[in-house]
Chain A
């Protein structure tokens, strides 16, 4: 073939990525307020834009079963007014700063994100601090927002058989554990939440010690810290919430199920439970292997199952990073006339061959260069912020922002072979067959 990844290309790309991340890292200035909130300021660029995210250390993984979805509903309510800012006013005031506010909830984190002209930062921080201290959960507004979330659930899950299949797979893999339930919760959960439950959740989980405040972009360090101290620093501290007992994760293996959903084409979903997010070598070994198996229109699985054997119409392989145990999923649509079992057997055979064969340095380097290339293109302030935030929240060590590059370089063929051996073992996974509903 006309091209291969030569080692010098990888080392040049890695060296540049290291240099680039090191330059950012050296400018990152982290301080802790007296009330326990951590503030991270990173000056980057001269474009007049700042990205601000406030990460609360709570997510769906912290919820007991009856409260599944409450973190997400609280995220919605955070836009619905405080004791000083009436319902509807928050967005008006944010937009008056030229800013666009949004938020997301995941298993370990709830984050509030804003991108704005850097000259309006002080006013934005005052608004943010206010809602983290003085949220007013009005009963009538709460009912309205709950209906919005029910509509979101209907839209993004109940009408989407692929999402329903993914939810079923998570239950198979995580059993009754905290990562088994969907972030948005179930319809019956959402409908049952009370005003009091939501208020308690807010008080327990949004105290300053649970917050990481990130500001990346065209901002001066000292003045920015001053603005944060003037706003968030004024919030009274409190004891950290106990997470003990809620946070144990068990991954199930060798569970099989077959369900019918409103899909037109059948679907195969296979999942594995893996190490916690802080085990970077395990997580990055997965990243490298998944790049080797399927990327764009190439990869070992695509060649075997789609191009050569023509068994699969579509495949995807991805990792979901969780703080307490990430998971990996292979998803495939068999071609017409191909059975689930036939497709799975071909998957196991391909992984067996990989684990038994020679893994060349070039194949490893090719996967590495794709990963580094993806990282290098995520350079806007809000993307840098996201990477740093993940390092803190998912891996529990901001320095993984730098260390990941060394770990990526250190992954060996043996690491890949070991993981491939595990994937080739049908006993190691949970497996879901999704069939079209009978008419």
Chain B
């Protein structure tokens, strides 16, 4: 077996550490620091994003402008964002600025000012930001998909919550949440030729004096179990086209052979301009400029998602044409499978061409799912080795050949076919109402 791209180690307290380097690297390190959430299901929708935004409004020692200008003076734009079951702090930093940058990061993460006036401001801005996102087709569709796919759980809410849920958050609650979440981080990931020096510096600065971590990082798999997907149709009067997406069940479990066959079928059917999905829907039928499909990792299984943006009156045709390909026995030739294998092989090489990319790839496929290093390479090898006939058989057994999990249609009501016009949500209901 090949040597994994990324090496795994542990600090004395159990913190997982991942490092990688490559010959293409500039003297710029990429640092990721992940704090575990106790659950992917928030108590109050939007609580973590509101907390993260409030944290970035100044520290005990410095104003909001001062702290970010100080990062900026080192060429750094730090990123603080929420993952499905963690909080990610990332920065790209010149090796020469290591100590000063980590000192600033410690201040930003662990000593925020938490001024009440700034919290009010955060809430006002998030309300206005929510309103502005109603102008963007992708934002509307993303919210509708979330709501359809995770119906029955708090994951159905928008990531940032709604105006109503955010109103429930007060300073005391958020300060308590900060104290709870920002213990010692669960995972450190570093792309640099000087990773040992970075780890030592992290121990001296960011990790020093942090309270003991009370829970380990766990992937969000369990949080998905209670979802009851349902269809959602949204009236978006300003859209000149529709956005249609359909989720279907993929293979369950972690059996490598099953996953490999499924993946090979999916790659051959959907990946690239020459794949039948793109050829038929875009090239032959002119249904849409954009056709998108992916297998979505749930940790213990996979979902299949397919998205297309046809004109409103062609929504049914687009759904039917896309779905039909999955069950069409002769949709794929041996040559399609051969091409899919070569394309996958090249794509994997691209993903690991330098250290930051290799680390990001490993985060997506291994680290954030608590899988062993090298498991992605084993998975890719299994896909490359999978038999085309087996893949074809497996392909008919998942995805569009089964009842969809949910279908989401966003478009102008008057232009959509009649069947989508009943029980449509308007934008107010999608953005502001209970979920």
Contacts and interface: CB of A to CB of B under 8 A. Distances in A.
Contacts of B377: none
Given A5-B74, A159-B239, A151 B66 contact: no
Interface in B72-93: 72-78, 92
B353 interface: yes
A242 interface: no
Contact of B131 (A47, A94, A156, A265): A265
Nearest to A87: B283
A93 to B, nearest CB: 8
A336 B124 contact: yes
A147 B310 CA distance: 11
A96 B131 contact: no
Contact of B134 (A264, A365, A376): A264
Nearest to B75: A373
Contacts of A313: 125, 128-129, 132
A151 B28 contact: no
B100 A2 contact: yes
B29 to A, nearest CB: 10
Nearest to A143: B286
A80 to B, nearest CB: 8
Nearest to B341: A98
Interface in B337-384: 338-339, 342-343, 345-347, 349-350, 353-354, 356-357
Interface stretch (A55-63, A128-136, A302-310, A387-395): A302-310
Interface in A267-288: none
Nearest to B138: A160
Contacts of B56: 297
B71 A296 contact: yes
B339 A95 contact: yes
Nearest to A161: B135
Interface string A247-266: 00000000000000011110
B100 A3 contact: yes
A88 interface: yes
A151 B241 contact: yes
Contacts of B103: 2-3
Contacts of A298: 65, 68-69, 71-72
Contacts of B328: none
A94 B272 CA distance: 10
B289 A149 contact: yes
Nearest to A265: B132
Contact of B274 (A88, A307, A333): A88
B62 A16 contact: no
A369 B74 contact: yes
Contacts of B343: 95, 98-100
A79 B238 CA distance: 32
Contact of A1 (B70, B240, B275): B70
Of the listed residues A47, A365, A381, the one surrounded by the most CB atoms of chain B closer than 10 A to its CB is A47
A47 B350 CA distance: 9
Contacts of B240: 154-155, 158-159
B65 A91 contact: no
A13 interface: yes
Contacts of B134: 264
Q: Which 9 A-B pairs have the closest CB atoms?
A: A296-B77, A373-B75, A298-B68, A91-B274, A98-B346, A262-B238, A152-B289, A147-B286, A91-B273
Given A80-B283, A92-B335, A95-B273, 16 more contacts: A3-B104, A9-B74, A88-B283, A94-B274, A148-B288, A160-B136, A161-B135, A162-B136, A296-B72, A296-B77, A362-B73, A366-B72, A370-B72, A373-B28, A377-B92, A380-B353
Interface of B: 23-28, 56, 62-66, 68-78, 92, 94, 96-97, 100-101, 103-104, 107, 121, 124-125, 128-129, 131-132, 134-137, 237-241, 272-275, 279, 282-284, 286-290, 309-311, 335, 338-339, 342-343, 345-347, 349-350, 353-354, 356-357
Interface of A: 1-5, 9, 12-13, 16, 20, 45-49, 79-80, 87-88, 91-92, 94-101, 115-117, 144-145, 147-149, 151-152, 154-156, 158-162, 262-265, 295-299, 302-303, 307-308, 310, 313-314, 333, 335-336, 362, 365-366, 369-370, 372-374, 376-377, 379-381
9 contacts: A98-B342, A148-B286, A296-B68, A296-B78, A298-B65, A298-B68, A307-B64, A313-B132, A373-B94
